[in-house]
Amino acid sequence: MIRGPNSAQFGSDSIGGSVQVVSQTPLFTPVKSEIHGRVSSHYNSADHGFGANSLVTFGAKDLALSVNLASHRSNTLRPGGGFDSHAAVNRFLGIRLDVFGKRSTDTAFTQYGGLFKLVYAPTPRDQLSVHYQRAQIDGGKRFDQTLGGDGNLIADLGAFMLDFFYGRYGRFFAGPFDTFALSYSYNAQREERVNQGGQGNPLGPITHQYERTVVHGLQSQAAEQWRKNNLVIGGEFYYDRVRAPSYVFDPAGGAVTLARPRVPDKATYHSGGVYAQNVWAAIPERLRLIGALRYSRAAYNSRAENSPLVNGQPLWPDDKLTAGAVTPRFGAVVTFAEGFNVSAQVSRGFRTPHITDQGTLGLTGNGFEANAVDLAGKGATIGSSAGATAVSTGIPVARLNPETSWTYEGGVHLHRSGIDIDVNGFVNDIYDNIVLQTLILPQGAASQGGFDDRRTGAARSRGAIANFFARGARARGLIAPGADGRLGAADDLLQ
């Protein structure tokens, strides 16, 4: 894992740098073909977890490939000291969780997957790479929402799968550039959340929320190195689309009704950017300057016409957001003597709200969330905190803005004669940070429409998204406006 300076290449979420996970690449063997293999296993006692990993690689003069298979079984976890202070029975009833045994229920799962990678060099200047991996988790549960936290009856995670593919063409000495690469990527992730609160009632409604996100991407990059300069230019474009049908099953009567999903079905997210980065050895071995410039742009869109009609009304409104920004990065490394240098840099970060930020609706693990479009004209304001005692700040709820930041960093580095000393300092100023805060509504506003699914939860105010209430009331029933206009737990409305 490498922390690198190449944040200009990685876009929206790469505020302040990048951490790269470099996967194992099969190698060419120019003399003769070779096959290698490795099998490993592991066990740990905290959860009686065990698993295995097997790797086979093949290398030839112009062809190399690898196949990797892995699996892991995690059984129920033993909490530290045998006591889990956050467990529902401890928080709500004052009873230790170990009355159910020494290990935490709902913490076991099975994980397995595989990876295939091929590299082919049709000519000494050209190279083709193909990568595919599949991962899956079975039997997963949200322990923090059952006995481990909220006390819900069911909090299952099903169909938890990842499919990731990319194909890349690379060429050395491509026109004016030393290297050129063009890639296509496909990333599909899916899951199904099954939840039943029910106040301990096994006949309470069971919510099924299926989600599948598919992302198609195109990336290109070219690099050229001169005696004093190392230039990298490139760009990428990604197209995200979510499928999120949702329904509620009634165990008592067997009825199935359509429900509002966590994020709007068929919501889309387009994102892309172009960048240039140059490292200039202004004074060889003494002064190196780094400059990077990136332009990023993203667009979120969800349509009410994609929603089924329930009681003649769509389950979510039309909503969209488009934002873009220029993000520069400048740095310098001054070498005073061999192994002793000083570095400094300044950079701007930019993160566009993604689909989860923009589109999360209804009851979630963070609480009940509503869209700013639904709140229009209702006098909604942002609370002073995320707690139940929050009061209005007077700031009206508005559409979510992108997060931005300015980072200033400096360091002194000494590496010589067996001595390694690094002293670094930084300041990171983040603006329009996405945080959780209580939503404040005037008296009677909650009954004006748009809040039909009024199950209680935590309060989040994200501009475009706002939750209703703080953590304390999450498992206590319906919500209703209090005399001061704040939405809280309404014990007199429990059904």
Q: Is there a domain that residue 322 lies in?
A: yes
Q: Is there a domain that residue 91 lies in?
A: no
pLDDT in tens, 107-116: 999 999 999 9
Q: Is there a domain that residue 39 lies in?
A: no
Joined together, the tokens standing for residue 491 give 């014990």
| pTM for the full predicted model | 0.80
3-state secondary structure of 100: helix
Q: Is there a domain that residue 94 lies in?
A: no
Residue 80 reports pLDDT greater than 90? no
pLDDT in tens, 38-57: 999 999 998 999 999 999 99
3-state secondary structure of 108: coil
Cα atoms in the Cβ-side hemisphere of radius 13 Å centred on 100:
19
pLDDT at 484: 32
**Range(s) of the domain holding residue 390:** 2-30+152-493
Confidence of residue 16 (pLDDT cuts 50, 70, 90): low
Confidence of residue 365 (pLDDT cuts 50, 70, 90): low
What are the beta bridge partners of residue 269? 240, 300
Residue 322 reports pLDDT greater than 60? yes
pLDDT in tens, 194-244: 999 867 788 999 999 999 999 999 999 999 998 899 999 999 999 999 999
On whether the CB atoms of residues 483 and 401 are closer than 8 A, the answer is no
Buried b vs exposed e over 326-362: b needs ≥16 C-beta within 10 Å?
Answer: ebebebbbebeeeeebebebebbbbbbbbbebbbbbb
**Which residues have CB under 8 Å from 438's CB, separation 6+?**
382, 383, 384, 385, 386, 387, 388, 390, 459, 461, 467, 468, 469, 470, 486
Q: Is there a domain that residue 44 lies in?
A: no
Amino acid in the structure at residue 340: F
Residue 387 reports pLDDT greater than 60? yes
Q: Is there a domain that residue 131 lies in?
A: no
Which residue carries 């060099």 as its tokens?
A: 121
Q: Is there a domain that residue 37 lies in?
A: no
pLDDT at 13: 55
Amino acid in the structure at residue 204: G
Give me the number of domains the chain comprises: 1
Q: Is there a domain that residue 122 lies in?
A: no
- Dist. CA 427–CA 257, nearest whole Å: 51
- CA-wise closest residue to 380 among 493, 459, 273: 459
